[in-house]
Amino acid sequence: MPDRREKDTKASILQAENITKSFPGVLALDEVTIEVKQGEIVGIAGENGAGKSTLLNIIAGIYRPDSGLLLLRSEPYSPHNYQQANKNGVFMVFQEQGLVPSLYVYENLFLANEENFISNGILNKKKMIKEAVDAMENLNLKIDPTKLTWSYSFHERQMIEISKAFTLAKIREIEMPLILLDEPTSGLSDVEIEILFEKVKEYSARASFLFISHRLSELIELCDRMYIFKDGKNIKSLETAHTSESDIHEYMVGRKREREFYREDRQITAVGEEIFRVSRLAKDGAFTDISFGLHQKEIVGIGGVVGCGKTELGLCMAGIEKLDQGTITVEGKSIHKVTLKNMMKKGVGYVPGDRKNEGIIGYLPVNWNVTLPSIPDITVWGLPFLNIKRENEITQTFVSKFKIKTPRITTMCYSLSGGNQQKVLMAKWVAKNLKVIILDNPTRGIDVGAKEEIYAILRDLVEQGLSIVLITDDLLELIGLSNRIVIMKDGVITNEFESPPGNKTAENELVKYMV
Amino acid sequence: MADIVTRRKSLGIVIPVSFIAVLVLSFGSINPRFLSIANVYNLIRQTSVLMIVAIGATFVILMGSIDLSVGAIITISGIVSAIFVPKLGTGAIVAGVAIGGFAGAINGLVFVYGRVPSFLVTLAMGPILEGLALIICKGSPVVIKDMNFLKIASGKLMGNFPNIGIWAILIYCFFTFVAFRTRYGRYVFTIGAGEKASQFSGVSVRRIKIITFFVSGFLSGLAGVLFSARCQSGTARMGEPFILDSIAATVVGGTALTGGSGGPHRTILGVIIMGILSNGMNLLNVHPHVQIIIKGVVTILAVAATLDRSRLEFVK
């Protein structure tokens, strides 16, 4: 690794002192103090709700702190909005991507900053394009600024956002911008993450970075130093060179992370009969010739980079999207028409990866969410009336079983944390007494503590007879949970692995078949 | 966190109820005739038709859509039933209701299968139906003379309580039950609150949407029949005021335009408020044109107060 850690990093870029911020009912930041020095890559770890994003939003001018002091390059700094932060050389790469897809790349780079290219009231596009081309070259990016933004992948658009920071900094003649990265890796495959990290390390000669991630391994790999936030407080500062994931985990949740995070000890080796089989499934433009079987009490994991077709495969197996070819067999009986309703009737359910939009309904209470797929099953005397009593019983059962933290079963789901929302989402489908559940990224965007609880729930369910198809971008999760692993690349299966407990495949072995 | 939930819900009902109290006290103290039994019955007569239309509007709005054709459906069903009275007597009710249901079903089908936004479908359906109505009645009012038919609205089956009020109350009770105690009702809420998630949970979203527009059309048809009985004639454009009023009553009562929250049980509050405003302002001899302005202001205030801004990414 280049000696970036030994370069001159003494000058301070950002100092946050005793920052406090609360929202109605929640103290998000409690006298937090951190520092970022020139050329450093500083990470922040912490569970959901620990305050990491809030701090970044304050630094980016999106929120104003209730109290505390910010110093940028040793000068007082209190941006009233994001534009002001930009003017001071502070830029943020947003999780939801701050680019307008239908514009050209160069238009996005200079969005809201066009005044630098105006002469006599007319926009000088040639100059904009030239600046953009220079910037991309400078940053070693193979991106053509004259192409439309949506023609680039999520990952490439993220690089465009980062390059935006550098181009705008250059226009304002700011030497070393401060770039804030808020969970840039969720939504990226492992391969794309590697590329992102390479670039960030390359750019750290010319910028300072503040980086938030859920994934401890990423923080250790990328950052020079890191802070650990817990319940709105900065509880620890660490040099990443001498830190292990379990150390961080211990600070974050207060207990040592055990090897049994994925409860490999509970993996069921004596699986039952084959309960679900797909043969030669194909969908134009997504995947072809997909065949595999699932036994009772088994977990089959499907992995691959973003875009390999596994998400579409999940949607097709669930009956939500149409298959072009192939057959699906449940308990030996082939399914005539693969539709969502039919698959549900035959005992196959699907838990979508996009929890917020496709999974639970935030503006409805917990009990209405949990019972939604089951409504046709809990009738009153066979008539289409609702059985409110039964609904509440079912909800209460799952709130206890899954330890869902909610003030009441009638609380609106939007007020639950991500982890609890995911539990509600799972309860929804488990309540239907299915035989097979297809999960798409069940622990996306959830903190370590909640993940552990969900893994325990999955192990419970499998012990009780459920079979699971696990589609996930999280390699470690894929390896830790599955009995067998199927790897996809560009729409076809490239390899299958047995994954018995105690003899699990290494990540790089799997990645070989993904790229 | 729980405070946010319960506080929002109870705030929701406190506002319309206290507003009603304020109105009653104000109007009552300025003109004591406002509080007389005769006036209460007047109020019931004046608001029953709106009550019925507004229930239909509530279901559509709960689902996240909107129905701008209710006025035209009232007109055409009022005229058609008036025309059928000489031949069918009270049976003309069926004709009116059938036309309403049919129009509503067309709205639903074009909305679902044509993938035309409900705003546009129903906006266009309005003039189409009004035009048809004008053709049918040849531009002049259709007078109703059959006493039996007129009695369905103006008669008094129970003491001095107006028949038209009985219709309104029955519809109100029935559809409140439907909203909270039937599968269909539950699905209307879930589609309004989260259509994608509902679809992924196995809800027949398309079927529910078509049914809801049918219900709105059906209820508007019924309202048209009763309105023509009350006015003793079917006239072109008679349903026009109900377009705004039905939406206003729904929203003022506490059902959010964004869908998924509120319900027909709240719409009665909105209807009462709009009714009291008109009734009270009439007794105070407020000019009719000024009344319209005041109604508009109240509607905006109600929407502003109940709008769930967190669900609107951008205010367009």
- pLDDT, one tens digit per residue, over B141-163 is 999 988 888 988 888 888 888 89
pLDDT band for position B8 (cuts 50, 70, 90): very low
Nearest-CB residue to B202 (from A344, A368, A415):
A344
Å from B251 to nearest chain A CA? 17
Taking CB atoms and an 8 Å cut-off, how many pairs form between chains A and B? 85
Classified as helix, coil or strand, A202 is: helix
Q: What's the alpha-carbon Rg for chain B, to the nearest Å?
A: 19
Torsion of CA A394, A396, A401, A407, to 10 degrees: 150
Nearest-CB residue to B200 (from A358, A388, A415):
A358
pLDDT tens profile A206-224: 899 999 987 788 889 999 9
Which ipTM value was assigned to this complex?
Answer: 0.87
Rounded Cα gap, residues B271 and B289, in angstroms? 20
The pLDDT assigned to A218 comes to 87
Residue B121 in this model has a pLDDT that exceeds 90: yes
CB contact under 8 A, B181 and A385: yes
The pLDDT assigned to B4 comes to 38
Residue B3 in this model has a pLDDT that exceeds 50: no
**A36 CA to centre of own chain:** 25
pLDDT tens profile A254-303: 544 455 678 877 888 888 889 999 999 999 988 999 999 999 999 999 99
Contacts of B197 in chain A (CB under 8 A): 357-361, 372
Number of C-beta neighbours around residue B276 at 10 A: 20
DSSP-assigned letter for residue A477: H
Q: Which A positions 376-395 lie with beta carbon below 8 A of chain B? A: 376, 379, 384-386, 388
Mean pLDDT to the nearest integer, A233-256:
78
The pLDDT assigned to B217 comes to 97
The pLDDT assigned to A49 comes to 63
pLDDT band for position B299 (cuts 50, 70, 90): confident
**A147 CA to centre of own chain:** 27
Residue B11 in this model has a pLDDT that exceeds 60: no
Most confident by average pLDDT, A190-199, B76-85, B253-262:
B76-85
Beta bridge partners of residue A22, listed in sequence order: A27
The pLDDT assigned to A194 comes to 86
Comparing alpha-carbon positions, the chain B residue that sits nearest to A360 is B197
Task: Characterise B267 by phi-psi region: left (phi > 0), alpha (psi -120 to 50), beta (else).
Answer: alpha
Any domain includes B4: no
CB contact under 8 A, B202 and A385: no
pLDDT band for position B312 (cuts 50, 70, 90): low
Nearest-CB residue to B5 (from A352, A384, A412):
A412
CB contact under 8 A, B183 and A350: no
DSSP B35-66: GSHHHHHHHHHHHHHHHHHHHHHHHHHHTT--
Q: Is A359 on the interface with B (CB under 8 A)?
A: yes
The pLDDT assigned to A310 comes to 92
Any domain includes B55: yes
CB contact under 8 A, A361 and B260: yes
Å from A427 to nearest chain B CA? 12
Here the tokens at position A146 are 């004259």
pLDDT tens profile B33-91: 888 888 889 899 999 999 999 999 999 999 999 999 999 999 999 999 999 999 998 89
The pLDDT assigned to A352 comes to 92
Å from B128 to nearest chain A CA? 36
Residue A98 in this model has a pLDDT that exceeds 90: no
Residue A391 in this model has a pLDDT that exceeds 70: yes
Rounded Cα gap, residues A443 and A470, in angstroms? 11
pTM of the entire structure?
A: 0.76
CB contact under 8 A, A363 and B181: no
Residue with tokens 């529910």: B208
Q: Where in chain A is the domain with CATH 3.40.50.300?
A: 13-89+176-257, 259-346+435-442+467-515, 348-433
Rounded Cα gap, residues A436 and A273, in angstroms? 13
H helical segments located in chain B? 2-30, 37-62, 70-88, 92-113, 118-137, 147-154, 163-181, 183-193, 195-200, 205-231, 241-253, 264-283, 288-306
Rounded Cα gap, residues A412 and A393, in angstroms? 18
Rounded Cα gap, residues B143 and B148, in angstroms? 14
- Residue B51 domain boundaries: 32-307
The pLDDT assigned to B10 comes to 47
Contacts of A317 in chain B (CB under 8 A): none
Mean pLDDT to the nearest integer, B288-294:
89
Any domain includes B6: no
Q: Is B47 on the interface with A (CB under 8 A)?
A: no
Q: Is B314 on the interface with A (CB under 8 A)?
A: no
Q: What is the CATH number of the domain that holds B187?
A: 1.10.3470
Rounded Cα gap, residues A366 and A380, in angstroms? 21
Contacts of B204 in chain A (CB under 8 A): 341
**Residues listed for chain A:** 515
CATH 3.40.50.300 fits A13-89+176-257, yes or no: yes
pLDDT tens profile A393-415: 999 999 999 989 888 899 899 88
Residue A71 in this model has a pLDDT that exceeds 90: yes
The pLDDT assigned to A263 comes to 80
Rounded percentage of chain A residues whose pLDDT exceeds 70: 94
Q: Is A347 on the interface with B (CB under 8 A)?
A: no
Residue B309 in this model has a pLDDT that exceeds 70: no
CB contact under 8 A, B194 and A364: yes
Rounded Cα gap, residues A333 and A329, in angstroms? 5
Give all strands (DSSP E) within A366-498, no chain letters: 436-440, 467-471, 484-489, 492-498
Å from B114 to nearest chain A CA? 20
The total domain count for chain B is 1
More confident residue, B112 or A182: B112
CB contact under 8 A, A376 and B183: yes
Edge-first strand listing for the sheet containing A75-76: A26-37, A12-23, A67-72, A75-76
pLDDT tens profile A308-349: 889 999 999 999 999 999 999 999 899 989 999 999 999 999
Any domain includes B13: no
Most confident by average pLDDT, A108-122, A179-193, B209-223:
B209-223
CB contact under 8 A, B186 and A375: yes
**Topology at the third CATH level for domain A348-433:** Rossmann fold (3.40.50)
Considering the domain A259-346+435-442+467-515 in this protein, what is its CATH number?
3.40.50.300
Å from A126 to nearest chain B CA? 33
Nearest-CB residue to B182 (from A385, A408, A410):
A385
Contacts of B195 in chain A (CB under 8 A): none
CB contact under 8 A, A408 and B197: no
Contacts of A25 in chain B (CB under 8 A): 1, 3-4
Nearest-CB residue to B183 (from A363, A375, A408):
A375
Residue with tokens 């503590």: A449
Number of C-beta neighbours around residue B230 at 10 A: 20
> Which residue out of B201, B211, B306, B309 would a mutagenesis test of the A interface target, given it has the greatest number of A Cβ atoms within 10 Å?
B201
DSSP-assigned letter for residue A141: -
CB contact under 8 A, A415 and B202: no
Within 13 A of A430's CA, how many CA atoms are on the CB side? Answer: 24
CA triple B140-B142-B144, angle to 5 deg: 155
Per-chain mean pLDDT for chain A: 86
Phi and psi, residue A444, nearest 5°: -70, 130
Nearest-CB residue to B193 (from A344, A364, A407):
A364
Number of C-beta neighbours around residue A269 at 10 A: 10
Any domain includes B21: no
Here the tokens at position A176 are 């070393």
Between the alpha carbon of residue A445 and those of residues A118, A186, A364, A448, B71, the distances in Å are 42, 7, 21, 10, 48
Here the tokens at position A58 are 């304050």
